[in-house]
Amino acid sequence: MQNGNLLNVTEAYKNYLLEYKKVSKATASAYKTDMNKFVRFLESKYHIESFNDINVSIVMSYLLFMKSDGQKSSSINRSMSVIKNMLLFAYHEGFIEENLSEVKFEVPKEEKKLPEILTVEEIDILLSKPNDSTLGLRDRAMLETLYTSGLKVNELINLKLEDVNLKLKVIKCHSKQQTRILPLGAIALNAVESYIKESRPILDTSECVFLFLSYNGHQISRQGFWKLVKKYSEQAGIKKNISTSTFRHSFATHMIQNGIEKDVLRQTLGNSSVASVQVYLDLNRRRARN
């Protein structure tokens, strides 16, 4: 059996992550931080110097220590994952005799974070902010389409001109798993039609196939879209911590409030299971209680 000095093993594991697992230096450093905390606990509480002196009770003691220390569930789960992976490495490398990584420790369940959503009133104010300039018509069309269809941002910016059918009032959304045909509401339809007829011909300097174009005639980027969302949310006076996914979350929550069936919402969003829309039901119940 190899010398399982605590510091030697943690350093060997860090090198293993960098050289064989090809993790980034930042990730390896984060792992090392969790490992060092565990090592300090072993040294101060149990005066342990070798990995081979670690047993199930000691690992459980560290788990209980993190809980009593008031650490977040996410931090405890991350630390335990790092420790178990390090113990598995130590076992395979011959630093310890028992494979402690196989032991099932009862880690706390992580609390599911409910997404930030906008109220219908906030959505209305935000959607009213784009003006009738060339870029303003584009921005309004993008925002209206995103909200009325529940698209992901990547799906929105990857829409092609041929995916829009103004006569049938639908858009065709392509993802890795499927193609969805989604209706455009009257306001979104008018916004898209105005953009296609008035703004897009001005922006399209290179015969680009994508529907929504940047000022230089290329496909608008995710970052470019985020900038316009941030701009209009500030103009609307919205103080919430919103992201490019906020429109999708808001759309889904508002549909739940209006009585849409879970399976219909799942299909609209392009999710694979009904369980995936449960977060919006939870969010709706929380808002009702408040």
Rounded distance between C-alpha atoms, residue 188 and residue 193, angstroms: 8
> One-letter amino acid identity for 215?
Y
Buried (b) or exposed (e) across 263-281, using 16+ Cβ within 10 A?
eebbebbbeeeeeebebbe
**Domain extents in the chain:** 6-102, 120-289
- pLDDT per residue rounded down to tens, the chain (290 residues): 566 788 888 989 999 999 988 888 888 888 999 999 999 999 999 998 888 888 888 988 998 898 888 888 888 889 989 999 998 998 898 888 888 888 887 766 655 565 677 888 998 999 999 999 999 999 999 999 988 888 888 889 999 999 999 999 999 988 767 788 888 889 999 999 999 999 999 999 888 999 999 999 999 998 999 999 899 999 999 888 887 778 777 777 777 666 666 666 666 666 555 555 555 555 555 544 44
Rounded distance between C-alpha atoms, residue 270 and residue 150, angstroms: 9
- Tell me: domain 6-102, CATH 2.60.40.10, correct? no
Class of domain 120-289 (CATH, top level):
mainly alpha
pTM: 0.57
Which are the contacts of 266, defined by CB distance < 8 A and separation ≥ 6?
Answer: 273, 274, 276, 277
